[in-house]
Amino acid sequence: MKILKVCFLLVVFLVGSAFRPEKQSFEEIQKGLPKLKDVYERKEELIKMKCRSLEIPEETFGNMVVRVFKMEAVMEVWVQRSDGKYVKFKQFDIYALSGLLGPKRQQGDMQVPEGFYYINDFNPQSSYYLSLGINYPNESDTKLSEAERKGGNIFIHGAQCSAGCLAMSNYYIEDIYMCAVKACSNGQQKIPVQIFPFRMTPENMTYYLSFDPYKQHEEFWDNLLVGYKFFEKNKRVPDVSVDKYGRYQFTDPLSLQAEEREEK
């Protein structure tokens, strides 16, 4: 009887294992957390409806990019459609951001960074409700800053207070966090975060550079302007690298793909 019982339990275990999912997706893991479970129950259908209205595959959800404009205190989430171009998915008011216009160069300056970053951390247990980490200091920051301590721990988060971070309302960070989870779960390894001092129109560039405190940033802002213009014109995200001087270099990914096809 004992042998039969052991055999029966082994069969049950093997059959159960065959039907058990091998591995949960990143999104499934996040949705299993109490806070995110509540968010998904309230908002996932709204996200899917927005996808349908913008011709974004709702089940696969495209790559996304976050764009920030400090002076306007606005954050935009853009999502890639099946034709490869990005469309504005949602726009959010930034509740609080500290410092002045210009890049972050050292620890304790209370500045919000400016430049081309990506999300490198998801924290659903944040003391600021939900948070998404940004990879400051990046390679450009490291080369352009002479400070021994350049700072770090820059996040997009809720809780409506900022000390160098981008503080959103809890309601807004739910949407941003959920979109980032979906993009990551569907294969986007690095979600770009582009942070600009303002919408970099010719009028704004002329206006802000007319103020003495901002003239020191002219060369840096001219560099950011190249990446800004690329996205505005093409609605695609450029590949970003950094040269030995700390300047951003922008390459059209479609041009690289064309070169690879020619070589083959």
What is the amino acid identity at position 249? Q
Catalytic residue among 51, 157, 179, 184: 157
Beta strands in the chain (DSSP E): 64-69, 74-80, 86-93, 115-123, 131-134, 154-157, 166-167, 192-196, 239-242, 248-251
Give the pairing type, strands 131-134 and 64-69: unpaired
For residues 239 and 120, what is the distance between their CA atoms, to the nearest angstrom? 17
Residue 213: count other Cβ atoms within 10 Å of its Cβ: 10
Closest CA to 178 of 86, 41, 24, 2: 41
* Three-state secondary structure call for residue 56: coil
d(CA 19, CA 10): 15
Quick check: is 217 catalytic?
Answer: no
Q: Which residues does residue 133 pair with via DSSP β-bridges, in sequence order? A: 121, 155
> Residue 141, exposed/middle/buried by CB under 10 A (0-12, 13-18, 19+)?
buried
Distance from C-alpha of 261 to C-alpha of 143, rounded to nearest angstrom: 34
User: Is 165 a known active-site residue?
Assistant: yes
- Find the catalytic residue in 51, 165, 179, 184: 165
CA distance 150 to 141: 8
For residue 78, what are the β-bridge partners?
65, 88
Positions marked catalytic: 157, 165
